[in-house]
Structures are given as C-alpha cells and as structure tokens.
Amino acid sequence: MGGSLSLVPVLDYFARRELLAAGLRPSAVTLPYPDGGAGATCTVHYWAPPGEPRLPPLLLVHGFGPRATWQWRCQVGPLSRHFHVVVPDLLGFGGSTYPFDTAPPPSEATQAATLAALLDALPGMEGRRVAAAGTSYGGFVTYWLARAAGAARVGPVVIASSDLLKTAADDRGFLKRAGEGWSGVDQILLPAEPAAMRKLLELASYRPPPRAMTPDFLLRDFIQVQLLAIPESFDLGQKSTPHGSILDYTCSSFQSQFAI
C-alpha cells in the first residue's frame, strides 16, 4: 500500500469510539522525567472521565506494542460502570513522550514513577488508593508501581500475562510451538514482516483470525505504523529488567499467567 494510505487510523478511530462511549476523554499532562535530570520533563497522554472520581479509581496499564486504546477497548465499557477508569499511554508509546535525545529510555521503575505522578496530578486522585491492572510489559510496570507505592496507595493489583519467572526453557518451548524457520523469539514477538506477524497472531490468539481477514498489506501496515516506531524510543537488546531485556520477557504476553 502507498505510504499515504493506512488502515491503522481507521482501526484507531473505532478503538477511540469505545473509550468515548464509556465516558472517557483524552488528555495529557506534562510531568518531571525521573531519569532526565533537573528540568527534564515528559508528557503523559491518558484517557479518563472528566472531573473527580465518583467511583473507585482503576488504572489500566497496556502492554508492549499496542496503543492503550487498542489494548483496553473491549474492557473499558463494562469496567467504567463500576470504576473511574484511567488509561494512560506509557512513555514511548502512543501519545506519551520523554526526552529521548537527552535522557535514557524509561525503565519499568521510571514508568511506574511517572504513573504515580500522573495519578497525583489528576483531579481528586492525590493520595487516593487506586486499583491497578497491567498486562504483558504493563504487568511489570504495574508490579513496580505497587511495590514502590505500597498497598495503602495501590491495590488490589492484577498482573496478567506477565511471566515474572520466565526462563530460557520457556523461550525454547515457544520456538518449538512456532515450528521451523525461526531464529529467535524476537523474530516473532517483534515482527518485521507479515509472515512473522501472522505467526504471532496464531500463537497469541485462542481463535486466530482467518487468513482472509489478515492480508499481507494490512499486517505490513500495522507493522510499519505500530511496531517499527518503538525501537526509536527503546534499545530493545540492552534495556534491563529484573529478568533480562525486553526481548527476554515480551513473550510473556503469550503465556497466560495471572497474579493477584
């Protein structure tokens, strides 16, 4: 497809409609960047209902790859009936930015500190206890947030599809499930071409979409718009976590483990 024509904005439009229908509105706030030194700032884009919470607050933290609107579009409707839902873009994703030209990329602890600052900046939220749910990479960020803030500030906590104890044996099992022709888990988990994206969908989905619904041009469009922008913000091979690099644990997105 030509560079001027993309279906991703169309899909993003429908995802945004789900959040709007749930009563959430987009906004952004400028905050100090924890790893940037004096005067460094970051911008956090988020969705939340306007005004102070009338329901218990709930923070939803997206995973590595999808925008927050795409990750939580199916959940915000039902959850918004019972919670004051806050859906941020993590730094380096969606509309959230940090000074990547002068500061190091955010660690999970930095992401968590930024989310804590965001919560304190929202109307009626400073110091208030907030429930939190994170998936995949967002599960690690949620873990760091709960650990740093303590149970009096953050809880209950749900961590979904974030394998905190993943080992090299899990990677080998993942590649065995994928079949022959793949040199490493990163080739599938951070796909650069349609075949790898299709394999990712096959492994990650309970009912993968039929091939007719995932033509090469659509998958290539998604890769170019969504995924290829991420390495500009994150050094995927070097960024450290409690258990290795992002590539080491991104496959946790596809191993269904829950911690409460």
- pLDDT, tens digit, for every residue of 76-134? 999 999 999 999 999 988 899 999 888 888 999 999 999 999 999 999 999 999 999 99
pLDDT recorded at residue 258:
32
Distance from C-alpha of 169 to C-alpha of 136, rounded to nearest angstrom: 19
Residues 216-234, mean pLDDT to the nearest whole number = 69
CA-to-CA separations, 158 to 132, 139, 145, in angstroms, rounded: 6, 8, 12
Distance from C-alpha of 86 to C-alpha of 64, rounded to nearest angstrom: 18
Residue 229's pLDDT band (cuts 50, 70, 90): low
Whether the predicted pLDDT of 231 surpasses 70: no
- pLDDT, tens digit, for every residue of 27-63? 999 999 988 778 899 999 999 999 999 999 999 999 8
Distance from C-alpha of 251 to C-alpha of 65, rounded to nearest angstrom: 12
DSSP 88: E
Residue 227's pLDDT band (cuts 50, 70, 90): low
Burial grade of 159 (CB within 10 A; 0-12, 13-18, 19 or more): buried
Whether the predicted pLDDT of 238 surpasses 60: no
Whether the predicted pLDDT of 248 surpasses 90: no
Query: pTM for this one?
Result: 0.81
Residue 169 tokens read as: 């044996």
Residue 116 φ then ψ, to 5°:
-65, -40
